[in-house]
Structure 1
Amino acid sequence: MDPTPLALVALTLGVLLGGGVATLVLIALRARDRARVAASLELPDGTRAVLFGMDEVAVVVDGSLRIVAASPPAELFGMQEESTLPGDELRELVRETRRAEHPETATMRLRRGVELRLVSARASAITPRLTLVVVRDITEHERVEEMRRDFVSNTSHELKTPVGAVTLLAEAIDSAADDPDQVRHFATRLSAEAARLGQLTSRIMSLSRLQSADDLTELRNVSVDEVVAAAIESQSIAADAAGISIVRGGARGAHVRGDVQVLTEAIGNLVANAVAYSPSGSPVGVGVRADDGVVEIAVTDRGIGIPENEQERVFERFYRADQARSRRTGGTGLGLSIVKHAVQRHGGEVELWSRPGRGSTFTVRLPAIEAPDLNGMKTKRRKKKAKKTKKEARAVARAEGEPT
C-alpha cells in the first residue's frame, strides 16, 4: 500500500485537531485577560480625556476610596489624584453603590475651602473595582429657589393686609351710610390703604423688572444733580410733615450713564428711609463726591441706626430692621432691595455704615462719565430750531402763493 495517502490524512487530522486546540487556548487566554482587566485598577480607554473636558466635579475612585482620576474642578473640593475621597456621606454613597450594584444619588453638604456647599452627588460603577462619582453644586440653585418661595410667601402676606383693610373699611362705610362724618373718616382710611396697596404693587413690579434678565432700555447720559434734586423733591412733603430738613452738599456737575427714572427712584428710596427713621427736627444729608472715575452719592441720617447683625439683611425683600416703625410709616420693605438691584444694574454698588443711636449712611457708587458738552448741545438745538423755523416759513409761503 502506498503510504502517501495515509500521510496526507494523518497530516490533515493533525492540522484540524491542532487548530481546534489552538482556538480553545486563544479563547481561554482572552477570557483570562478580560478578567484581569476587570479586577485591575486600570482606567477604561478615554476616561481621563472625558474627565479633563468636564466642567463638573467628577472623580474615579478605587475599592479603597482612593482617587485615581479627577476633573479639573474637583480640586475646588479638595479632590486630587492619589488622595482619599473626602466627606463621610460621599464615601458612604460609593459603598452603597457597590452593595446595590446600581447607580445611587444623594444630596449632601461638602466643604469647598472654608465654605460648606450643598451638592447633588451620583455614584456609578464603571468596573468591578472602579466607581465614577459626579458632584453638582446646587447651592445657588437652592438659594434662588428659597428666595422665590420667600418672595411668594412675603408678597401674599403683604398684599393680604391692605386688601383685608380695604374690605373691612368698605363694609364700615356701608354700615355708616347714615352718618356723613363716619363715612368721611372711613373713606379717608380707605384711600390711604388703597394708596398703600398701589405703592406695594408698583414696587413689586419695579423690583421684578430690575431682577429680570433684560437690559435697561432707557439709557442716556444722566446728570447726578438732576437725579439728586428729583429724589429730594419727591420726599419734600414727607420731610416737612416730619419737621426734617434735607441738606444737599458736595460736588456738582457729575454725570453717569443710566436710566434716570430708575436712579431717581433708588436715591429717592434712600432719602425716604432716612426721613422715616429720623427723629423730628434732625437733618438728612445728601452728599455727592466724584473722584477717580467713580461718583458717590451718600445719604446720611441721625436716626435709630441698624444693629451690625442686621446690616447684611436690610437689602433683602420685605425685611425691616424696625417692624413697628415701618408699619407706622407705611413702608413696604422693598425700598432697599430696589436700591441694591438698581445700582447693580448700572454697574455700581451700595454700602451701608450704621451705628445704633448714631444714624446710618448709605453710599451708592456708580461709574462716572465725562460731562457732555452743553454748549455744543445748545448750539445744535439752536441750529435745529432755526432750520425748523425756516422750513415752516417756506411751507406757509407756498400755501399763500408767495415766492419762497
Structure 2
Amino acid sequence: MTSPNTALIALAVGLVIGIGLSALVAWAYRARARVVEAASSVVPQGTADVLDSMDDAACVVDASGLVLAISHAAARFGIGVGSTLDNQELRQLVRTVRSTGASATETMRITRSGAALDPRLVSARASALGGQLTLLIIRDVTEQERLDQVRRDFVANTSHELKTPVGAVSLLAEAIESAADDPAQVRIFASRISAEAARLGQLTGRIMSLSRLQAADGITDFDTVAIDEVIASSIEGHTVQADSAGVGLARGGDRGAYVRGDAQILIEAVGNLIANAIVYSPKGSRVGVGVKVDAATVEIAVSDQGIGIADADRDRIFERFYRADEARSRRTGGTGLGLSIVKHATQRHGGEVRVWSRPGRGSTFTIVLPRLDVPVPETARKIKKTKRARKADKAADPTRIRNGENA
C-alpha cells in the first residue's frame, strides 16, 4: 500500500514534468514562428494601412530588392509594387541595413519619375522589418533646403547692402568733424549724409515690405480695389522723378477694372515698375502704363523704350538684391528689391508677372491679376436713370430752362 508521502511526491514530479513539457512546446512554437517570420516575404498585417496614411514616400522591400508595398507618394519617385529600386544609393542603403540589422539614415539627391532635370534632396531612412523585409522611408527636404538657403542669402545680402550706407554715414560724420571750420564743406558732407540716410531708409523700408509679403499672415485684409486709382496714384507718385529724368509718362487702356486685394501694396508694386522704367529709359523717351481687361483677368503693363534686359539676366531679375546693371543701380540708389517686391505682391494677390524685353528696344512688365466683377450699385443705377430722364425732359420741353426752372 502506497504511503501518502509517496503519492504527494509523485504528484509533484508529474506537475513539474507537465510544466516543463508545456514550456518546451511553447518555446518550440515561438522558435518556429521566428523562423517562419525570418524566412517570410509577406508584408506584416497592418503595414499596408500605415503606408496608406503616410505623406512621405515609403515602401517595403524584400531580400531580393523587390518592392512589396508602397505609400501613395512613392509613385513620385518611380517606385511601384512589383518593381525594384532604380536608385543605386537607395539599394545600397537597404543592403547596409540588411547586413547590420540596424536602422540607417542618409541624405542624397534622387530624381523624381518623369522629371529628369529635377533632382530632389531627400532624407532616406531604412529599418529592418523582419528577417527578409526592409522598410524604406524617403522624405523630400528640397523645399526646406531652399528656404534655408534663401534665409542665409537674405541675411548675407542684407548685411552687405546695409554695410555700405552705414559705413558712408560714419565716414561723412568724421569728415564733417574734421571740416568744422569750413562751412561750405560741411554743407556738402551734410547733403551727402542726407542722401545716404535716404538710401538707408529706402532699403530698410523695402526689406520690411518684402518680409511682410513673404510672411504667412502678411496680408489679411483684402478689399475691393479700383485699378484706376492704383494707376493714378502710381503715376502721380513718380511724376517728379520722370520730369527730372526728362521721361514722359503716358496712360492708356481700359478703365473701370476692379480686383480684390490691398490697394497700398498694388500701388507700391506698380510704382516700382514705373520707377525702374524711368531709371532705365533715355532722356526724351516715354514710359507707358496700360490696362487690359478681359472676362477673368486684369493686366497692368508698364513699357519703356530703355536699354532692355539681356537674356542671361531675364531669369534672375526677380531675385532679391539682383541688379542687371550694377553700376547704374548704385548710381541711382537702387536697392535690387523692387522687382522682388513686385513678384511677391502679385503672387499674394493670386496673379503673376510677365516680362518681355529686347536689348536696345526696351522692356514691358505685365502684372496679371484675377478680375473682380463689381456690379453697379442700385443707387448709382438710379442716379444714371434720373440723369437720362432729365436729359429726355430737356429735349422734350426746352422752355423749362428758359423759364428758369432748375433742371
Q: When the two structures are superposed, what TM-score results if normalisation uses the length of structure 2?
A: 0.86
- Partner residue of 2:160? 157
Aligned positions of 1:1-400 closer than 5 A: 24=24, 27-113=27-113, 114=115, 115-214=118-217, 216-371=219-374, 373=376, 376=379
- Partner residue of 1:383? none
| Residues 13, 342 of structure 1: alpha-carbon distance in 2 compared, 3 angstrom cutoff | closer
**Alignment check: 8 A CA contact 1:253 1:371 kept:** no
**Partners of 1:150 and 1:287 in 2: CA distance:** 35
**Partners of 2:227 and 2:18 in 1: CA distance:** 97
Instruction: Report the secondary structure of 1:279's partner residue.
Output: coil
- Residue-by-residue CA offset, 1:302-325 (whole Å, 9 max, x unaligned): 112112232221111111111111
- Residue-by-residue CA offset, 1:64-83 (whole Å, 9 max, x unaligned): 22111111110110011111
- Partner residue of 2:389? none
Kindly report the root-mean-square deviation, in angstroms, between the aligned alpha carbons of the 2 structures: 2.6
**Partners of 1:20 and 1:186 in 2: CA distance:** 101
Instruction: Report the secondary structure of 1:267's partner residue.
Output: helix
**Partners of 1:223 and 1:304 in 2: CA distance:** 32
**Partners of 2:16 and 2:184 in 1: CA distance:** 120
- Partner residue of 2:404? none
| Residues 101, 248 of structure 1: alpha-carbon distance in 2 compared, 3 angstrom cutoff | same
> Which AA in structure 1 matches 2:55?
D
| Residues 63, 218 of structure 1: alpha-carbon distance in 2 compared, 3 angstrom cutoff | closer
- The structural deviation recorded for 1:349 is 1.2
**Alignment check: 8 A CA contact 2:212 2:218 kept:** no
**Partners of 1:148 and 1:60 in 2: CA distance:** 36
**Partners of 1:175 and 1:57 in 2: CA distance:** 67
Q: When the two structures are superposed, what TM-score results if normalisation uses the length of structure 1?
A: 0.86
**Alignment check: 8 A CA contact 2:58 2:71 kept:** yes
> Which AA in structure 1 matches 2:89?
E
Instruction: Report the secondary structure of 2:371's partner residue.
Output: strand
> Which AA in structure 2 matches 1:312?
D
**Partners of 2:382 and 2:192 in 1: CA distance:** 53
| Residues 21, 228 of structure 1: alpha-carbon distance in 2 compared, 3 angstrom cutoff | closer
Contiguous gaps of at least 5 residues in structure 2? 2-9, 384-407
> Which AA in structure 2 matches 1:100?
T
| Residues 15, 324 of structure 1: alpha-carbon distance in 2 compared, 3 angstrom cutoff | closer
**Partners of 2:361 and 2:330 in 1: CA distance:** 22
- Residue-by-residue CA offset, 1:295-348 (whole Å, 9 max, x unaligned): 110001111211223222111111111111111111001101111111111111
Instruction: Report the secondary structure of 2:204's partner residue.
Output: helix
| Residues 327, 16 of structure 1: alpha-carbon distance in 2 compared, 3 angstrom cutoff | closer
- The structural deviation recorded for 1:202 is 0.5
Sequence identity, in percent?
A: 61
| Residues 240, 27 of structure 1: alpha-carbon distance in 2 compared, 3 angstrom cutoff | same
**Alignment check: 8 A CA contact 1:56 1:134 kept:** yes
> Which AA in structure 2 matches 1:266?
A
- The structural deviation recorded for 1:16 is 9.5
Instruction: Report the secondary structure of 1:134's partner residue.
Output: strand
- Partner residue of 2:388? none
> Which AA in structure 2 matches 1:235?
H
**Partners of 1:42 and 1:234 in 2: CA distance:** 72
> Which AA in structure 2 matches 1:82?
G
Instruction: Figure out how many residues of one structure are paired with residues of the other and give that number.
Output: 374
- Residue-by-residue CA offset, 1:90-149 (whole Å, 9 max, x unaligned): 111112222332111111011112121110011111112111110100011110110000
**Partners of 1:326 and 1:260 in 2: CA distance:** 27
